[in-house]
Amino acid sequence: METLRSRGITRDDVWQAADSLLKAGQRPTIERIRLHLGRGSPNTVSPHLDAWFAALGGRIQDPEGFAPAPGCPEPVAEAARYLWEAALQSARTSAEAGLAQREAALAAASAALQQEREALAQERQVMRARLEGAEAAMAELTRARDEAAERAARAETAAAAWQQQAEALRAEHASALAARHAMQNDFDVQRAAWDQERETLAQRTAANERRMALELDAARVAAREAQALLDAERKAAVERLARAAEAASRQGTEMTRLGQAIAVLEERVRQRESLLAEYREQAGAESAAAAAPPRRSRPARVALSVGKGRRRSQRL
């Protein structure tokens, strides 16, 4: 019956059982997988377990091998990665410790087997020697029977020890399952808190976006009003500049006209000053002539000088 049930074990069954044991912090072995599945022979489980160990390194190095589901929040993914690394480290530690124990037990079993082989070889020699004599053979057979009984007792003791170890492993497995359930509950609580925080942040973000949109609209209205005011001031400044330019042009024309008038007046002043100087010379000459004895030709010269002065005054 066991043979028929073990034939139904597939590679996926063994791999899933090994993954479950590794996640629980235990090193997958043939006996543990058989206990986990509740069936299977060592000859059936062994090749699938070897293939699982051969592919384990690639699966661990693959970043997507144990990645969370798509769309999972980044804090949840970080927590999942942290939990997986912690579980993997614990599994490695337990696996290394279990491997060391198994290697020590295997070495002891190998030494015991070697001793038993040597004992069997010795027994063969003894048996051959016993065939030479009936009494010697009977004595040796009696001793062999006693030794067999002793080995049977040791085997029973070893079986009891293995049974205790199996019970301890079952208890360890139950404890690991309880720890995993506790971690799952904690993870669910944290995930609910993260979802609530994310919803609060989303509401705050939406409120900030609405407020910023209102402020942006107000700033645009203020900018349009400032631009209109600036355009009005610029237009008024251009008009004032045009009026100032026109006034400056008029002032320039008036200054030119005044300059010309001043030049004419200065010319008249110079002419009058020249005429005044001539009058003064003439008056000095007349005074000198009045003081001197009169001459006949003097009146004609005076009349000529007076006529020239009148003509200059008329030209001015």
pTM of the model: 0.25
In 3D space, the residue among 61, 5, 63, 68 whose CA is nearest the CA of residue 37 turns out to be: 5
On whether the CB atoms of residues 99 and 22 are closer than 8 A, the answer is no
Task: Give residues with Cβ within 8 angstroms of 302, minimum separation 6.
Answer: 286, 289
The answer on pLDDT for 107 being more than 70 is: yes
| pLDDT tens digit sequence for 52-88 | 888 877 776 655 555 555 566 676 666 656 666 766 6
On whether the CB atoms of residues 40 and 4 are closer than 8 A, the answer is no
Instruction: Return phi, psi of residue 57, to 5°.
Output: -60, -45
Tokens encoding 66 = 């144990």
Candidate CATH numbers 3.30.70, 1.10.10, 1.10.3470, 2.40.160; the one for domain 1-57: 1.10.10
d(CA 95, CA 33): 14
The answer on pLDDT for 140 being more than 60 is: yes
Count other C-beta atoms under 10 Å from residue 30's C-beta.
17
| pLDDT tens digit sequence for 150-185 | 888 988 898 888 888 888 888 988 888 898 888 888
Task: Give residues with Cβ within 8 angstroms of 46, minimum separation 6.
Answer: 30
d(CA 60, CA 88): 9
Confidence at residue 47, expressed as pLDDT on a 0 to 100 scale: 92
